[in-house]
Amino acid sequence: MAVATLPTEIIKYPDPRLRRKTVPIELFDDYVAALAERMLELMHAGRGVGLAGPQIGISRRIFTCNHTGEPQDDLVLINPELSDLIGAVEAEEGCLSLPEILVKVRRARKCRVRAYDVQGRPFTLEGEDLLARIWQHECDHLDGRLIIDRMTDTDRIAYKKRLADLEAAYQRKTRKR
């Protein structure tokens, strides 16, 4: 049996893997633990606050996050489910898969998440403000949605060239394979 390799990079828009709806993780094994650790490394190296499976080409329901930058706040959420979304606030969001693009997105101010850790143990957390925003952003990734799907017409015009540049870079990269 071949050993699965761990991802080496964060994929960029318009890679079609970013648009795939993910499937739940059912086996909590050493690979899932190693994958979670690798995701945390890539998230920190990219100076991000969250990273979802699709962003590294893994179509599974897993994401990592850290809203403070402190190592003790690293969090891995497997098969997350959001509930109890309360309030609404609009704020600017960026994305490691869409570098140099910032979009104002309206999200719930507070929410609850139920998920599993890397050993398969269930847990529930409540978050607000930045933490709740991260969870919602990463769950969007797990469902194949990106912040550009939430852009206003004005944002689309403002970022038209940047999106075209990302599309051209992707085309160059895929031609080399």
Each residue's pLDDT tens digit, 24-45: 999 999 999 999 999 999 999 9
In the chain, where the domains are located: 16-176
Region 118-133 average pLDDT: 98
- Is the pLDDT assigned to residue 176 strictly greater than 90? no
Percent of the residues in the chain that have a pLDDT greater than 90, as a whole number: 93
Among the listed residues 37, 100, 138, 167, the single catalytic one is 138
- Is the pLDDT assigned to residue 3 strictly greater than 60? no
Q: pTM for this one?
A: 0.94
Q: Which residues 6+ apart lie within 8 Å of 41 measured at CB?
A: none
pLDDT tens for each residue of 59-115? 999 999 999 999 999 999 999 999 999 999 999 999 999 999 999 999 999 999 999
Q: In what order do the strands lie in the sheet with 122-128?
A: 50-52, 62-65, 75-86, 110-116, 122-128
| 126: annotated active-site residue | no
Residue whose entry in the numeric block shows the structure tokens 């899932």: 32
Which is more confidently placed, 148 or 3? 148
- Is the pLDDT assigned to residue 177 strictly greater than 80? no
- Token duo for residue 138: 């990463």
CATH tag, 16-176: 3.90.45.10
Which pLDDT does position 61 carry in this prediction? 98
